[in-house]
Amino acid sequence: MTPDEVKKLFALARVEATAEELERLPKEISDILTYIDKLKSAPLGELPPTLSFAPSLEELRPDEVVSQDAADNAALKAQFPEASGDYLKTKKVFGE
Amino acid sequence: MPSQIRGLHNAFTSKEKSVAEHVGESLTRIRERDGELRAFLDVHIASAEREAGRIDAKIAAGESIGMLEGIGIALKDNILVKGTPTSAASQILKSYTASYDAFVVERLREAGTVIIGKTNLDEFAMGGSTENSSFGPSKNPHDTSYVPGGSSGGSAVAVAAGMTPLALGSDTGGSIRQPASFCGVVGFKPSYGRVSRSGLIAMASSLDQIGPFATSVEDAEILFRAIEGKDPLDMTSQEIHEEIRDKKEYVLGVPEDFMKDGLDPKIEKIIRDSFKKAEGAHFKFVPVSLKDLSYALACYYIIMPAEVSSNLARFDGIRYGDRAEAKTLFEVYGKTKAAGFGREVKRRIAIGTYVLSHGYYDAYYLQAQRVRTLISKAFSDVFRTVDAIAMPTTPSVAFKLGEKLSDPLAMYLEDIYTVPANLAGLPALSLPVGTSDNLPVGLQLVGKRFADYELLAIAKRFEAAIA
């Protein structure tokens, strides 16, 4: 793993990487990947993957509108880092 | 250990002790010891005293109270309590206030427990020592130069240091059992699906489970009974009607092949001595082969970071938490996460992003999910002949603060005995069975899926046998 590859992974995860991280992480991540490579020798035969332990999808709760109390709405809105009147502010999604 | 909960309940109902006195003792203990031990991130003094007063008034009026009513409890700070700060020990959530109660908190309120406060953890529950907390580590009450384990270290310390009789933690790869073992208390991770995670800040959703810390198995069981069951807000949760039969003799499997590598001989001796004592109490120990469990840790370190990288994508500074100043949306994400996440969290996000990326998905993620099937199968094969599996909780006792910080892989290897139960969704419990160089040693019992009460019955008998 190279510093450039780490930089790319961070970019994919939308995290800005520092110079210190780009120097330290290639070796740390390589060591961990070397360790997890031992899975390649597991005697898997035709075993399928376990993708979920969830019970059957037939047990889903009804898809219906649940009324939200005004105080809860206000509490959720209060968590927003930036607001302007009734608007909750974010940066533009599309560039200028 | 005798049940602290029953003792307190009897004291409350016979008016030997008021709930206010019990809560006052907790708060005093925290004031005296927590400057050094740092078990708590936040103590809810006013609400705890108010609750105590309410229950005392109920007792004074001659009303009956439930077994958990008035009992103090500490909650890991990744469990939401409405209107109070919940940070998961991360800078990114340092100004976050929970807008609702977790399912388990609703249940605790119905049962009348008194929430004393929120406990320290490794940031977002990632770590085995609490050294990854962005608010500084907790210390082991048996020797403060040692770690208490993690990630639910603060909860283990709160119970071990007598600050609260009960605590809740969460366990993704051993985060309840390992700190319980390091601090000398009982820690129980229920079966996957037995306790709702609604209101638990998610780490790795196919592995996360909430469970109790206590000083006795009976107390852990009383707390588990209060929080288990189906919740429509967690689709993995299930209502299980478990038939409990107390057997005359329990057969425990000892995975001799899996236990061989890296186990401290002093721990091995303490564990085997506990087996000898238990043989007198109708336990039979048989060797079983679980060699495929040697793949469990590698499997875990693919699945867990993959789920971490996905779950933590939500902390982007847009809807809650701290937001960094920046010009564009992508810069907001990048700078918010860079400033808000600590070293271990970023490391796991990077690994998770790698194993899920195009071209590597089959080789890592899918392969790991197949190994997960292999591990579940190895357990089910063994459970045809035994009632539970007995092995150490950790390969060594608590380590010194700072000892493993610079070597992430060495820290990960601490989880070697605990991750298999998470991968297979099985209930598992750590029980204190002795000390090595004055530091506690835990025995781990792993049960059949959804046979949680049977596992607790086995643990109770084992606890009595070695007392």
pLDDT tens-place string over residues B331-344 = 999 999 999 999 99
Say whether residue B357 is in contact with chain A using an 8 A CB cutoff. Answer: yes
- Please tell me the predicted confidence (pLDDT) of residue A95: 66
Q: What pLDDT does residue B262 have?
A: 85
Q: What's the CA gap between B153 and B38, in Å, rounded?
A: 10
State the nearest Cα–Cα gap between A59 and chain B, in angstroms.
8
Say which residue, B382 or B327, is predicted with more confidence.
B382
Measure Cα distances from B431 to A76, B112, B153, B213 in Å. Answer: 41, 27, 16, 10
Tokens representing B27?
């708060």
Sign of the CA dihedral running B367, B372, B375, B380 = negative
Dihedral angle sign, alpha carbons of residues B17, B19, B25, B26: positive
**Distance (Å, whole) CA B93 – CA B320:** 8
Beta-bridge mates of residue B213: B167, B187
User: B67-106, pLDDT tens digit by residue?
Assistant: 999 999 999 999 999 999 999 999 999 999 999 999 999 9
Quote the pTM value: 0.96
What band does B178 get if pLDDT is binned at 50, 70 and 90?
Answer: very high
| Contacts of B336 by beta carbon, 8 Å cutoff, 6+ apart | B92, B315, B316, B317, B321, B322, B323, B324, B326
Its domain, for residue B93, covers: 1-467
C-alpha dist (Å) from residue B376 to A85, B259, B363, B370, B449: 54, 18, 20, 10, 10
Residue A58 has pLDDT above 80, yes or no: no
Residue A83: pLDDT over 90: no
Percent pLDDT > 70 in chain B is 100
Q: What is the mean pLDDT of chain B?
A: 96
How many residues comprise chain A?
96
Cα B277 to the chain's mean position, in Å? 27
Q: 3-class SS at B258?
A: helix
| Selected residue of A2, A91, A96 to mutate for chain B interface (largest B Cβ count, 10 A) | A91
Give 3-state DSSP helix, strand, coil % of chain A, rounded to 5.
45, 5, 50
* Residue B212, H or E segment: strand B209-214
Give the mean pLDDT of B36-45.
Answer: 98
pLDDT of residue A96: 55
Looking at A1-77, which runs of residues are DSSP E strands?
none
| Res A53 pLDDT > 80 | no
The per-residue DSSP string of B61-95 comes to: TT----TTTT-EEEEETTB--TTSB--TT-GGGTT
Whether residue A53 and residue B367 make contact (CB cut-off 8 A), yes or no, is no
Of B91, B330, B345, B361, which to mutate for an interface test with A (greatest number of A Cβ within 10 Å)?
Answer: B330
Cβ contact, residue pair A42, B192, below 8 Å: no
Dihedral pair phi/psi, residue B427, rounded to 5°: -75, 145
pLDDT in tens, B225-268: 999 999 989 989 999 999 877 789 999 999 999 998 789 999 99
Whole-angstrom Cα distance, residue A42 to residue B25? 53
Task: Supply the pLDDT for residue B331.
Answer: 93
Within an 8 Å CB–CB cutoff, is residue B323 touching chain A? Answer: yes
Arithmetic mean of pLDDT, B311-329: 89
Residues in chain B: 467
Whether the per-residue pLDDT at A17 is higher than 80: the answer is: yes
Closest partner residue to B367 among A39, A50, A79, by Cβ?
A39
**Residue B172 banded pLDDT, cuts 50, 70, 90:** very high
Answer whether residue A94 shows pLDDT above 80: no
User: How many independent structural domains does chain B possess?
Assistant: 1
| Predicted confidence band of residue B319 (pLDDT cuts 50, 70, 90) | confident
Is B176 within 8 Å of B211 (Cβ atoms)? yes
| Rounded Cα gap, residues B351 and B365, in angstroms | 11
Rounded CA-CA distance A15/B349 in Å is 9
Q: Give the pLDDT of residue B456.
A: 97
B residues 247-306 closer than 8 Å to A (CB): 292, 295, 297-299, 301-302
**At B43, which helix (H) or strand (E)?**
strand B40-43
Reply yes or no: is the peptide bond before residue B274 cis, omega within 30 of 0: no
Q: What is the mean pLDDT of residues B393-418?
A: 93
More confident residue, B414 or B442: B442
Helices of type H across B323-431: 329-340, 343-356, 367-382, 408-413, 419-424
Task: Indicate yes or no: CB of A13 within 8 angstroms of CB of B425.
Answer: no
For residues B65 and B59, the answer to whether their CB atoms sit within 8 Å is yes
- The stretch B372-394 carries a mean pLDDT of 97
- pLDDT higher than threshold 60 for residue A70: yes
The region of weakest confidence among B29-43, B47-61, B196-210, B232-246 is B232-246
Across the interface, do B353 and A12 touch by the CB < 8 Å criterion?
A: yes
pLDDT in tens, B289-300: 999 999 999 999
Full DSSP string of B275-335: HHHHHTTTEEEEEE--GGGGGHHHHHHHHHHHHHHHHGGG-SSSSSS-----SSHHHHHHH
Q: How far is Cα B240 from Cα B138, in angstroms, rounded to an integer?
A: 36
- CATH number of B79's domain: 3.90.1300.10
**pLDDT at A82 (0 to 100):** 84
